[in-house]
């Protein structure tokens, strides 16, 4: 079963993708992880991608789709996979559909985690980090002492990309580039909206219910 996980920044795509992948026994794929693996292993595609990343440039769609093709042709993807946070533009969506078609595959479900703009900003701007790597959130996962890490007593800080201003910029980019994809998958009849405001376990329950319902109807795993 091939599943695409969609949603605004901080909607929970990574978390829910991991839950689904573990439950179904299929890989959780993110293009960022693929790039990092190829760069770390010095593959030809990784070396090419590194040229762009080192310059702070976006990796071209053609290179991204090629690196994704290599990943989904691996043996562990023969029964499907969960694709996290990709595609992000209409061009990427069209390239992905064409690539999957060439591989004799197609997307079974596109799961859209729905959250309001206000919730996205709250989730992003409420993040706090410690130099030891421990992460917190001032509302959903606060430290025991304000602005102090529970593990090392270090002072918590806000990352540069976790401010309200950056959150709003990311939202604007998402609406312009990524939201149109939702309409495409809706027209294809494979889109499922999930309320992303609920507690994490409830969101997972809803996602898995929809997958089970689809699987029972289609006879896929």
Q: What is the mean pLDDT of residues 194-213?
A: 96
Report how far Cα 74 is from the mean position of its chain's Cα atoms: 20
Domain boundaries, the chain: 2-26+79-117+177-218
**Segment among 51-55, 124-128, 144-148, 169-173 with least mean pLDDT:** 51-55
Q: What is the pLDDT of residues 92-131, one digit of tens each?
A: 999 999 999 999 999 999 999 999 999 999 999 999 999 9
List the one residue out of 37, 220, 6, 1 whose CA is nearest residue 110: 6
Q: Which residue, 51, 12, 15, is CA-closest to 35? A: 51
Question: Which structure tokens are listed for 106?
Answer: 């197609």
pTM given for the model:
0.85
pLDDT at res. 84: 93
Q: What is the mean pLDDT of the chain?
A: 92
pLDDT in tens, 21-44: 999 999 999 988 888 888 999 999
Burial class (CB in 10 A: 0-12, 13-18, 19+), 6: buried
The pLDDT value given to residue 219: 64
Residues forming the active site: 13, 88, 127, 159, 170
Q: What is the homologous superfamily of the domain 2-26+79-117+177-218 according to CATH?
A: P-loop containing nucleotide triphosphate hydrolases (3.40.50.300)
DSSP labels for 39-76? HHTT-HHHHHHHHHHHTTPPPPHHHHHHHHHHHHTSGG
């Amino acid at each position: 079963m091939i599943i695409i996980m969609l949603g605004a920044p901080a909607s929970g795509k990574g978390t829910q993708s991991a839950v689904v992948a573990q439950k179904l026994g299929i890989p959780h794929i993110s293009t960022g992880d693929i790039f990092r693996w190829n760069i770390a292993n010095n593959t030809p595609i990784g070396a090419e991608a590194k040229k762009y990343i080192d310059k702070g440039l976006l990796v071209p769609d053609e290179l991204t789709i090629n690196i994704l093709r290599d990943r989904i042709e691996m043996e562990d993807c023969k029964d499907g996979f969960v694709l996290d946070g990709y595609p992000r533009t209409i061009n990427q969506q069209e390239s992905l559909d064409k690539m999957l078609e060439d591989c004799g595959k197609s997307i079974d479900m596109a799961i859209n985690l729905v959250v309001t703009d206000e919730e996205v900003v709250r989730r992003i701007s409420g993040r706090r980090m410690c130099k030891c790597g421990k992460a917190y959130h001032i509302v959903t996962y606060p430290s025991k002492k304000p602005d102090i890490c529970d593990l090392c007593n270090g002072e918590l800080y806000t990352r540069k990309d976790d401010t309200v201003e950056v959150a709003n910029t990311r939202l604007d980019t998402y609406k312009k580039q990524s939201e149109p994809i939702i309409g495409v998958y809706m027209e294809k009849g494979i889109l499922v909206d999930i309320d992303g405001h609920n507690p994490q376990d409830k969101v997972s329950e809803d996602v898995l219910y929809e997958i089970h319902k689809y699987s029972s109807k289609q006879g896929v795993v």
